[in-house]
Structure 1
């Protein structure tokens, strides 16, 4: 789909990525288009991202494409080795293990320092984010599914009340996107993710720290398994 068409479809809505990253709307639209094509496997790990091709595919100007690639590089989704152009990050087995080890460390740390009981207003925020992701899962809007998932995680692990830890989790959510992406379009994985989100919210209500920690660690493994089967086996 051309970016100009997507612009018309979302012109009346506030774009959450634009406000979060402080980039212009045209840059947001190209980022979203690349994001969508990664999820759909139209862009695969280590595929070269050629400016001319992206300009044509997304009906975008060169400076917009360059800005989008620069932002994705900052987030860790795109890598630009010297003299080789831009690529989607690809993980070998050791890279993937190192990344997921770090994610497990961060998630476990966040859950362990949460102060129970959770204040009702913040618990409501997490519950509403869970419901928003569940609704998005019914729409087939891949970018919205991914973004609402990240919002749920941001609010959930933000309950640790440590901004440095919460930002590290957010950073690693983006770093892991090239590995997690293929779970977004997988119907079975998405259905499981929705159920697991609901179970996490229930654990918060029950003040069940050990259960929440186990759910948090198990939750990330399905998307990792999809990536391993698709690219490493």
Structure 2
């Protein structure tokens, strides 16, 4: 495990200190995979992770098994547990599910969102614009995820929020592409257009215009996925 891996895990552990150890390990490693700290093909060992968390191998084994069930890890003969590659078919399936769930969240948000919650969405767009201005792709990816997770939370549906937490693939590609500047020279205008779509969604929600909010968001999601698919094709060449 490389130095930046240890540093990331150390920083993240305290955020999950209230959870059972196996869950804390699961979420820390999952976030590290999504954010591109661990890259496709990287090998993970129970001993390394147990040492980092200062625990036995049992909770580590349970966490890794759950990550494997979510297709984030896979076992390679003769190598062991490694980070899975991106699956285009899964990405396309996620696109359809994400459109349905996020647009449902928009519908529910239009019914009962508060001004304070709208301001949180605007705060997320401000963070994204600041990241764009600073040419910080990692911060931009985090701010984008924050915006969409807020939308899910405004559905007031706990089951939906838990379900959308498993929609990790597009977020993972977002971070991977952000870290790979050689193949991701998307100019600032692309990010600004996506953030402008966020603002249009907020305005539609404030006006309680469900149809407009869903139309804008559907286009927004499709444009992101088109970009992710293009990214995968470029890095696969």
TM-score after normalising by structure 1 = 0.68
Cα offset, 1:226, TM superposition: 2.4
1:123 to 112, 118, 143: 118
Q: How does 1:78-93 map to 2 (within 5 A)?
A: 78-81=72-75, 83=77, 85-92=81-88
1:176 to 170, 174, 196: 170
Name 1:190's counterpart in structure 2. 191
Name 1:216's counterpart in structure 2. 217
Q: How does 1:104-183 map to 2 (within 5 A)?
A: 104-116=99-111, 118-172=113-167, 174-181=168-175
Cα offset, 1:213, TM superposition: 0.6
Matched-pair contact (CA < 8 Å) for 1:126–1:155: yes
Provide the alpha-carbon RMSD of the alignment. 4.0
Matched-pair contact (CA < 8 Å) for 2:72–2:83: yes
Unaligned runs of 5+ in 2: 180-185
> Cα–Cα, structure 1 residues 228 and 29, in superposed 2: closer, same or farther, change >3 Å?
closer
2-side partners of 1:16 and 1:115: how far apart?
36
SS across alignment from 1:116: helix
Matched-pair contact (CA < 8 Å) for 1:3–1:29: no
2-side partners of 1:151 and 1:170: how far apart?
12
1:50 to 43, 50, 57: 43
Matched-pair contact (CA < 8 Å) for 1:179–1:223: no
> Cα–Cα, structure 1 residues 78 and 132, in superposed 2: closer, same or farther, change >3 Å?
same
Deviations 1:122-163 (A, max 9, x none): 112221122122212323334322222211111123222112
SS across alignment from 1:176: helix
Unaligned runs of 5+ in 1: 53-60
Matched-pair contact (CA < 8 Å) for 1:112–1:209: yes
> Cα–Cα, structure 1 residues 139 and 72, in superposed 2: closer, same or farther, change >3 Å?
farther
Cα offset, 1:112, TM superposition: 2.3
TM-score after normalising by structure 2 = 0.67
